[in-house]
Every structure is written in structure tokens, then in C-alpha cells.
Structure 1
Amino acid sequence: MENSHKKPHAIMMPYPLQGHVIPFIHLATKLASQGFTITFVNTESIHHQIAKAQSNTIEDDIFAGARKTGLDIRYTTVSDGFPVGFDRSLNHDQFMEGVLHVFSAHVDELVGEIVRSDPPVTCMIADTFYVWPSTVAKKYNLLNVSFWTEPALVLTLYYHLDLLRKNGHFGSHDNRKDTIHYIPGVEAIETRDLMSYLQATDIWTVVHRIIYRAFDDVKRADFILCNTVQELESKTISALHQKQSIYAIGPIFPAGFTKSSVATSLWSESDCTQWLNTKPHGSVLYISFGSYAHTTKHDIVEIAHGLMLGEVNFVWVLRPDIVSSEDTEFLPIGFEDSIKDRGLIVPWCCQIEVLSHRAIGGFLTHCGWNSILESVWCGIPLICYPLLTDQFTNRKLVVDDWKIGINLHDRESITREEVAKKIDCLMSGKTSEELRSEVKKMREILEKALATDGSSEKNFNQFINDVNASM
């Protein structure tokens, strides 16, 4: 019991993408409110983007406000090996090679400095997608906690890559296309619902090499935290639990599901509230394809025409680089004139503020995991338009398993007529009512999980007890 007076001190490091930074920041705040000291580490590039986005209040320390409320969260940055001005999106593969080969040396050096601080560092909570956590944690004698920001289904598919390879569903020139029945805790999954990297023919890209290393490394973690809910993925979590200590602690939201006091956005946010206030309850379709994925000009044009054919009000988040950072003119000529006051187009917004507005009645989404959880929390059904990585697998959960959404298109390519039809189907009529009924049930599951005696809260407290016991 000699350690009972020690205060846990965690170094936290999200993967340098918007969808990973958000849950990491909310988890840091939650752990700090339970007495943890947190040293939060963003890459210099991510920090620069967040600071630039907060044009009115450029603050070198994003947790300054949180500390004023008594939370012990320190903040620092680390180089990812590239200059801040380097275009990581345009030079994606070069950047990823750096993340794979160079980044760990910068992390090692920084952790070596942080471990000398007071109170002593006890654990490192790093993103599961990193390839180095077990090496760095072992070197500095820290508990190795892996934080998985996506659903357990996606984790277990990566975790069991060896089974997919052995059975011929991944890694050969002629992969099997039949249903997969042998992944522990997964009843059945079609090959089209695997993550995009597992459907690829070239399996030695830099991202594949990162995946192989990262999901070998996670098997050496002391604990795995997962941003999901026990009741939603119970079989998958139970099967993983037989291999390692895994805690379903999701959904990781800011307290009260209001805009976070800590800046999390990599882009400056447009305020949609005034426009939404003028629209009837449940009449607006929210459209966003997330912070990272790109799509084609063809798809954007067809979606735009589909919106013109219909009569639904909409807010459409269109990042200027959604097609590419070099092609920023992608909407059909005359689109904005034809929609007049029916639509609002913004480059970025605070998603939880928009989704929780009474005027929103549906969400056309790329199926990012944060977006799905936020939409469910707000009782909003989904139209699914997955673009890459885990989004195809998340679509399976939303449409096939939970029945809280529909597919945007059933054929290979999108047509404007189908877009208009699916939007109409989501926003009104019998299907709409059925989806709303299911999403309401799922919202209740999330609420119960986060209640004092709920599964996520119990798992979160168990994790804290287990960390303290291991110190």
C-alpha cells in the first residue's frame, strides 16, 4: 500500500488527426476531474492549426481555461519531423513515412524530459495507431495504455489480421469474397464492410506498414480504453477481453454535451445558430463529410443536384479541400442561387452545436465514429456515405446492425435522383419514423451507460482503480 498516496500522472498523445484529437481532449478532461495529473502532447502542426482556428483568442496553451477550473492539465508539443508549413494532406505518403520512422525519436526525447516532472509520470495513454508505445513505455517504466477512438468491431478486425490473412480474406492477389465467420466476437461480416485498407490490393503501402506495426504493438499494452459502449458491442468486447484488459468507456463527450471549453477544432467555425433558429423543428438536413476524407467532384455535383431536386432545408459543411487542396471550385454553376434561403453552406462548424439544435432532423454523414456517436446522442438518424478507413465498417453497424440509418446509394455511383429519394426517405414518412424510433432507443443506451451506475462509468472507474493498483 506504499503507493496509495501517489497521484496518477498520465502523458496523453493523440494521433495527429481531428477525429482522434477530440476524444483525447475530452478523456484528458475527464481523467483530470478524477484527480489525474495530465501532460497532454499535440504535434506542433496540430497545435498550430488549432491556434490559427481560434483567430480571436490565440492561446499558446489550449488547457489554460481548464486549469482555471482546478484541473491539473499541462500542455506541450512535439515535432512530427516536418516543418509546420509542410502540407501533410498533399504529401500524405511522405508524411506517413515520417510518422512511421522519424516521429518516435522525437517522442522518446520528449517523454525523457516529462518523466522528470512532479508528480512522477505513472502511465502513457497513446493512440492505438502509433507504432512505438510499448517501446517508449518500457524504456521509461510507464504503464502502457492504448486508447482506441473507434468502435470495438474495427479494433478486433485489425487485431485479428493474422486470421483474415490465414483464411485468404486479406493479403493475397485473389482475396476470398465470401462472408467472414471466424473473427472472435463477430457473428458475420461481408468483405465489402471491412475497412478500406483491408480491401486494398496493394498491402505494402506506408499506411499498411503502420497498421501491421501498430496492431502488433497494441498486444503489449497493459490496458486498452475503447470509445464505445458495452451494450452496443458486447460480444466483440467480451472476446477481446479474453486476450487483454479492455474497458468500454464511451461515448467520450464534453461535459453536458456543450461546446468544449478546450479548443479542439483545426478550422475556424462558422456559427449556424441564427440561420437554424429561422427553420421549423426537425426540418433541416445536416451534411458533413468530416475533417479528413476527400471525395470526387462527381459525387459533390450529384449531391448538390439531389438537394436542388428536393425541398429539404440543409446545412452543408464543405471544406474547401473536400475534393483536393488544388480544386476548390466544385459546386454546380447556379447552385447557391437556386437554393436561396433553403440551404446554408459553411467551410466548418461546431458539429455538436448544430446537431443538438432543434431544427436538425437528419444527418448525411461520411460515418466517422465521432459523428455517429454525436448524432445518436442528439436522436438524429443518418444517411451513410462512407469514404475511407473505418467508415465502411461503421456503416455496417449503423445500417445493418442498429438500423438507425440508410445508405446514400445502393449502386456503384451516386445519382442525383437517388440522393433526392434517400433524403426524402430520411426526413419524412414511414422509414423516417422507424429510424427515429431506433435511434431514440440507442440514445437511451448511451445515456444509461454514462449514468453513475452505467457500464461506461463503471468501466471508467475500474480503469482508474486498476491504474492506481498498478502504480
Structure 2
Amino acid sequence: MMEASFGHILLLPFPFQGHIMPFMEMANRLVDAGFTVTFANTDFNHRRLLAAGNGYADNELSSSGRRLRLLGIPDGLESDEERKNVARICQVIPGAMAAGVEGVIRSAADEGRPFRWILSDQLMSWAVPLGLREGLRAAVFWTSSAAMLAISLSIPKMIQIGLIAEDGLPKKHAVFQLAPGVPGLHTAQLAWNNAGSNLADKSCVFSFVLTNNRATADHAELLIFNSFEDLEPQALSLLPSPVPVGPLFSADHHPTGSLWPLENPSTILRWLDSHPVGSVLYIAFGSHTIFSEAQIEELARGLELTGRPFLWAVRPDLTAERRDAAFSPEYLKRIEGRGLLVGWAPQRRVLAHPSIGCFMSHCGWNSILEGLTAGVRFLCWPYFADQFLNETYICDTWKVGLSVGHREDGTGAGAGGGEMMLVKGEQIRKRVEEVMRDEEIGKRAHVWKERATQNVNPSGTCHENFNMVLNVLGSTP
């Protein structure tokens, strides 16, 4: 562990919930180790974070004596613009936020507390050269799977072999596998090809990825991952000096980076207490998945058909349409006592509850790590970005879950760069029964729970790696 020559670090997360949460835990751990940290969100997310009631007050942690400052930088979008539009975010934020990032760096220097490091989300690596020009050193934190970054960094190879064009769009409809043990991805599932609704959007995201890849390769002294060696040995071996420090979850004494208002978990946990061990299906699709009204109705019907108890986290914006038919008074009466619908659940506590038997998930990386650590089965329903690769890990590599549904071309039930396939209620019921009755899946899930837990113990590899990160960040050039 490093000694007391602590410095000031600027943290810059990508402005999505799944990136902000591990970044906030990184910030809290750095502060615990003695560093001073400035956490720079977009203005929009900064306001959401403060309003969510996660233990923050007046841009500082409410607990006294800590050194974590929260601030916001304008993201260049109008106040009423949709901030789930990935292509729009990628198009606007580098130019819009550059001056704000430079201003934060220079203000800190003027105030006599200059930054020593910029610790950037890999998807915000465009900002790293700004820090270098002001004398900062640079580290990069990748919050998804190592496999996803390894594939992203292999774009030149995909172009060379004629799989994708210079603008990232598919030249072949085929599966690309970087190496044995690394999940293969259909060209329609490459992150930039399923993050936009038209060709211009996809090309914009692709250009954004290339910019960040170049900055990472050219300038990052540390490449940190929210993963662990047992989980992705092949993918990590393909990357330049990776430092896996995961699973990186919020410690009990740390405020979280959630942008959603906290709800009293006691009602949910009491409800879980009333059900047998391993009996409850938990359904949550992260902060960005959007379903059609028809799919919500089919999902609601499928859950009812299972006859099993279920807890469903239903975001207010889970569909852009009306949900009256799915959650009519008659439906709510039929599932009373067996189905619990909530706006937002304390997911880690829910997954760790003994009554949870299966997690129906969008396959976001944070959710996967939480589910693996809890030892639950998965039902995979990916939506966009890296989630299709994560589904392949779950179903084909680790074999701890099943896919909800597949297209004939193999691209799954999620968006995949096009319209989502409608999964009928009867198919949902069937897949729930298959995964809940598969004893081998249950056994493998338990094994992964033990492996994940061992990695974050004081004697674990990721614990040792995090101490190495602290030493490097505290060192002088």
C-alpha cells in the first residue's frame, strides 16, 4: 500500500448509469486510500446524482473529512434532448465538454490543488490529450468486459480481412471471433452497429470509438478493468498490460453512483423473505432498454404463465408507449402476492437474497458481475452495445444461463442493429422453466459465485491489483 504522498485525481466517466456506478466506487476507494478526487459528470447527470439522495450534499460527500468533490460540465445537449441516444452523445460531448474539462484542470491548478492524474473512462479518452497538455498523467478505466475492448481494438484487423468497411459497417454478415475463448460476435452486434438506428448514427459511433482507441493506445499509462482474471483469461491476455480490479461494487459504507432516487428497500426485502429459497424470478433491464407496448404485454403475460413468484423492476420509461393493458387492475389482481412490481430495486441486495433463483437481465456488465457474485442463473435479453457479447459469455462460455429468444440469423431477441424481435409470453414461460430446472446451470452458477468472491478478498488477485493501481497513482514520474 502506498504511503502518504497523496495526489489529486480527475475522474471522468462516460455519461451512462452503468459507467457512473463503478466510477463512483473507484472514486470512493481512492479517497479511502488518501487521494483527493474530483468527479466530473455531465451537468445533467450531476444534478440527477445530487437529487437521487445517495448520501451527497452540496457537491461533497456528506460525511466529514473526505476529499471527494462532485461537479458538472455542460454536455452540449438541449435540456429536453433525449440522453439515451448513443449516437447523439458520441457526436456532441467531445466538442461540448472539452472547454469544461480544460477549465476544471486549470481552476484546480489556480487554487493550489493541481491534478496529478486524469482517470478517464475509455469512452472519454478523447479528453486524455487535454490533460496531458496541462501536465497530467493518464490512466483509463474500462467498465465493461475485457473481451469487448479487445474486439474494439481489433478494428484494423476486421477491416483488413474484409469483415467491415472503413466506416465500420458490415461488408459480410458473419461472426467474428478474435481468439479461442473470446466470444464471437455477429457483425450486426458489433457495438457501433447496434447503437444507432441508421447508417449515419452507426458511423458516428464508430468514429467516436476510433478516437478513444487511439487516445488510449497512445497515452494511457494504466489500463484498468472491472473484471477478473478467472473470468476472462483469454481476452485479458490479448490486451496491453491490463489491470483487472473487479468485481468493483459499492462498499456498504460508500454512497453509490446511482442516478435513480433511492427507495426504501424494506418492503422489497420483506416480500423476498416470504418466498422459498431459489424460487423468485428477478427481472431488470438496466437504465436504457426500451420495449414496445406489445413486448411489455407479452412479458407480463409470460411471467404470469410461469406460476412462479417474480420481482420486476419496471422503470417509468421502460416503454415509450402506454402500459395500461399490461398492468391493468385485472392483471395486478391476478398476480397479487406472487408478483411485485417496483420502480427501481436495490439490485445487489436483491440478487444476494436467498429466495432469488434467476435473473432476467439485459446483460449489462455491472448486472452480470452482480449476478455472478450472487450465484444466480441468468435469462438473457440483450438490447444494445456490448450486451450481445455478454450474453454469449453467459450462455456459451460460463454456461450459467439461457437466452430468452433467438432470431433465425442468430442475432438474438435484442435490437441487434434493427427492430427487436417480439418474444411471446409462452416462449418466456418455456425459457423460465428450462433455466430454473437445469441443475447443471445452478451448479456452475455456484462455482462462479465462489470464484468472484475469492478475487475481491484481501488475498485475492484483484485486491492485489488495486493496491498496485494505488501505488502507481501515488508515484512521481
TM-score (normalizing by structure 2): 0.88
CA RMSD after TM alignment: 2.6
Query: Are the counterparts in 2 of residues 151 and 369 from structure 1 also a CA contact under 8 Å?
Result: yes
Closer/same/farther in 2, CA of residues 394 and 94 from structure 1, 3 Å limit:
closer
Residue aligned with 1:177, SS: coil
Aligned counterpart for 1:189 among listed residues 177, 184, 195:
184
Structure 1 residue 176: Cα displacement: 2.2
- Residue in 1 that maps onto 2:145: 151
- Residue in 2 that maps onto 1:238: 237
Equivalent-residue separation in structure 2 for 1:319 and 1:276 (angstroms): 20
Closer/same/farther in 2, CA of residues 169 and 349 from structure 1, 3 Å limit:
same
Residue aligned with 1:41, SS: strand
Equivalent-residue separation in structure 1 for 2:371 and 2:270 (angstroms): 21
- Residue in 1 that maps onto 2:388: 392
Structure 1 residue 330: Cα displacement: 6.0
- Residue in 1 that maps onto 2:215: 217
Residue aligned with 1:219, SS: helix
- Residue in 2 that maps onto 1:415: 424
Closer/same/farther in 2, CA of residues 184 and 117 from structure 1, 3 Å limit:
farther
Equivalent-residue separation in structure 1 for 2:226 and 2:312 (angstroms): 27
Closer/same/farther in 2, CA of residues 336 and 169 from structure 1, 3 Å limit:
farther
The reply to whether residue 115 of structure 1 matches residue 112 of structure 2 is no
Equivalent-residue separation in structure 1 for 2:86 and 2:147 (angstroms): 26
Aligned counterpart for 1:356 among listed residues 352, 355, 367:
352
Query: Are the counterparts in 2 of residues 81 and 106 from structure 1 also a CA contact under 8 Å?
Result: no
Structure 1 residue 86: Cα displacement: 2.8
Equivalent-residue separation in structure 2 for 1:457 and 1:58 (angstroms): 27
Structure 1 residue 103: Cα displacement: 1.4
Deviation per CA, 1:54-96, whole angstroms, max 9, x where unpaired?
A: 29x773235223xx3x54222222222345x433337665454
Query: Are the counterparts in 2 of residues 152 and 233 from structure 1 also a CA contact under 8 Å?
Result: yes
Equivalent-residue separation in structure 2 for 1:109 and 1:321 (angstroms): 34
Structure 1 residue 332: Cα displacement: 5.6
Structure 1 residue 48: Cα displacement: 1.4
Aligned residue type for 2:473: V
Unaligned runs of 5+ in 1: none
Aligned residue type for 1:415: K
Residue aligned with 2:38, SS: strand
Aligned residue type for 1:76: L
The reply to whether residue 440 of structure 1 matches residue 435 of structure 2 is no
- Residue in 1 that maps onto 2:158: 164
Query: Are the counterparts in 2 of residues 287 and 364 from structure 1 also a CA contact under 8 Å?
Result: yes
Question: Which deviates more, 386-395 or 452-461?
Answer: 452-461
Equivalent-residue separation in structure 1 for 2:307 and 2:128 (angstroms): 54
Closer/same/farther in 2, CA of residues 5 and 309 from structure 1, 3 Å limit:
closer
Query: Are the counterparts in 2 of residues 193 and 392 from structure 1 also a CA contact under 8 Å?
Result: no
Equivalent-residue separation in structure 2 for 1:343 and 1:142 (angstroms): 52
Aligned counterpart for 1:294 among listed residues 273, 290, 297:
290
- Residue in 2 that maps onto 1:341: 337
The reply to whether residue 321 of structure 1 matches residue 317 of structure 2 is yes
Residue aligned with 2:283, SS: strand
Structure 1 residue 187: Cα displacement: 5.0
Structure 1 residue 368: Cα displacement: 0.5
Unaligned runs of 5+ in 2: 408-420
Closer/same/farther in 2, CA of residues 130 and 401 from structure 1, 3 Å limit:
same
The reply to whether residue 467 of structure 1 matches residue 473 of structure 2 is yes
- Residue in 2 that maps onto 1:139: 133
Structure 1 residue 185: Cα displacement: 7.2
Equivalent-residue separation in structure 1 for 2:454 and 2:386 (angstroms): 26
- Residue in 1 that maps onto 2:100: 106
Equivalent-residue separation in structure 1 for 2:262 and 2:350 (angstroms): 11
Query: Are the counterparts in 2 of residues 51 and 59 from structure 1 also a CA contact under 8 Å?
Result: yes
Closer/same/farther in 2, CA of residues 113 and 185 from structure 1, 3 Å limit:
farther
Deviation per CA, 1:326-345, whole angstroms, max 9, x where unpaired?
A: 64546264322221111111
Aligned counterpart for 2:73 among listed residues 64, 69, 78:
78
Question: Which deviates more, 85-94 or 409-418?
Answer: 85-94
The reply to whether residue 253 of structure 1 matches residue 268 of structure 2 is no
Deviation per CA, 1:15-40, whole angstroms, max 9, x where unpaired?
A: 11111111011111112222222122
- Residue in 1 that maps onto 2:457: 451
Equivalent-residue separation in structure 1 for 2:358 and 2:312 (angstroms): 12
- Residue in 2 that maps onto 1:206: 204
- Residue in 1 that maps onto 2:306: 310
Query: Are the counterparts in 2 of residues 153 and 186 from structure 1 also a CA contact under 8 Å?
Result: no
Closer/same/farther in 2, CA of residues 314 and 207 from structure 1, 3 Å limit:
same
Structure 1 residue 229: Cα displacement: 0.4
Deviation per CA, 1:183-210, whole angstroms, max 9, x where unpaired?
A: 3676561416843424677265432332
The reply to whether residue 59 of structure 1 matches residue 57 of structure 2 is yes
Closer/same/farther in 2, CA of residues 339 and 86 from structure 1, 3 Å limit:
same
Closer/same/farther in 2, CA of residues 316 and 125 from structure 1, 3 Å limit:
same
Deviation per CA, 1:257-278, whole angstroms, max 9, x where unpaired?
A: x4x6414222224431222222
Query: Are the counterparts in 2 of residues 133 and 144 from structure 1 also a CA contact under 8 Å?
Result: no
Residue aligned with 1:224, SS: strand
Closer/same/farther in 2, CA of residues 217 and 359 from structure 1, 3 Å limit:
same
Residue aligned with 1:170, SS: coil
Deviation per CA, 1:124-152, whole angstroms, max 9, x where unpaired?
A: 11111115233112111111111100010
Closer/same/farther in 2, CA of residues 29 and 330 from structure 1, 3 Å limit:
farther
Equivalent-residue separation in structure 1 for 2:32 and 2:112 (angstroms): 18
Aligned residue type for 1:155: L
- Residue in 1 that maps onto 2:11: 12
Query: Are the counterparts in 2 of residues 37 and 73 from structure 1 also a CA contact under 8 Å?
Result: yes
Aligned residue type for 1:460: F
Deviation per CA, 1:429-461, whole angstroms, max 9, x where unpaired?
A: 2x1x21121111111211221122321112212
Structure 1 residue 115: Cα displacement: 3.2
Question: Which deviates more, 214-223 or 410-419?
Answer: 410-419
- Residue in 2 that maps onto 1:48: 47
Query: Are the counterparts in 1 of residues 94 and 127 from structure 2 also a CA contact under 8 Å?
Result: no
Aligned residues: 453
Structure 1 residue 414: Cα displacement: 1.0
Query: Are the counterparts in 2 of residues 313 and 343 from structure 1 also a CA contact under 8 Å?
Result: yes
- Residue in 1 that maps onto 2:270: 274
